Amino acid sequence: MPRSITLYMADNLTTTNHVFFHVATTSKPRDGEDFVPPVRHKLRAVSILLVDGDGNATYQTTSGPGNFFQLLDAGPRLVSWNGRGFGLPVLTYEALRRDHTIYNIHHGPKQYMNRYAGVHVDMADEMSFRGAAPRVTFDEAAKLIGLPGRLFDMKARSVNYVISALEIDVAILALAYCRWYRSDSSVLQYDGIQKAAVKRCRRRLKDEMTGDVKRYLKEFRHV
């Protein structure tokens, strides 16, 4: 029997759609620089997991920010990992470079940059109790819920490898969110998220499937 877990919905509306997202970027540090600010990162890909009010999950990954901002027109709940401090700024700056519309992220009816409005849940912020506790890393969050953490190193990798890593990451994000926000509102199938991510990853990486990746996907799928 597929495992399921309840998914928190804003205002207990079971029709609320969720958009989970994760980005991959490239950057070049300047001399003596430990951290490259988001404005100097170039977007490689954004992976999106759409979950409707019935718990149906659909993955999509693109190389540009346009489709991401179009999805926000419908006013879904947005879920990210450090999206407020990194993901959304990167996507916004990339959209400005490409002359894409970003009205809905800053001026639309949903306050996606508001820390307390509830329409954008930044799990890195939530799991640090909004700054009251030290930041939990993404890898630590995965292991807290019994997942094998992050295997994929996206540096100097093929596009297919980057996309696969992103889709695994966004699946981890969704599962961590479900565990953090249990309620009686709606049901999201664990198996559906994991099975779809692993299937897409295996198909995309059929020519790059190392032993480590095979073992990781097997462990990830059967948690």
| Domain chopping of the chain, boundaries | 4-221
**Which amino acid appears at position 106 of this protein?**
H
Q: Which pLDDT band holds residue 190 (cuts at 50, 70, 90)? A: low
The first and second tokens of residue 98, run together, are 């490409």
pLDDT tens for 36-71 read 999 999 999 999 998 877 767 788 888 888 888 888
Average pLDDT along the chain: 80
Model confidence at 6: pLDDT above 70: no
Task: Answer whether 191's CB lies under 8 Å from 53's CB.
Answer: no
DSSP 111-149: -TT-SSSSSEEEHHHHTTTTTTSPPPPHHHHHHHTT---
Q: Which CATH class is domain 4-221?
A: alpha beta
More confident residue, 140 or 222: 140
d(CA 170, CA 193): 10
Contact partners, residue 19, CB within 8 Å, separation at least 6: 48, 49, 50, 68, 71, 72, 76, 77, 78, 79
Higher pLDDT, 43 or 197: 43
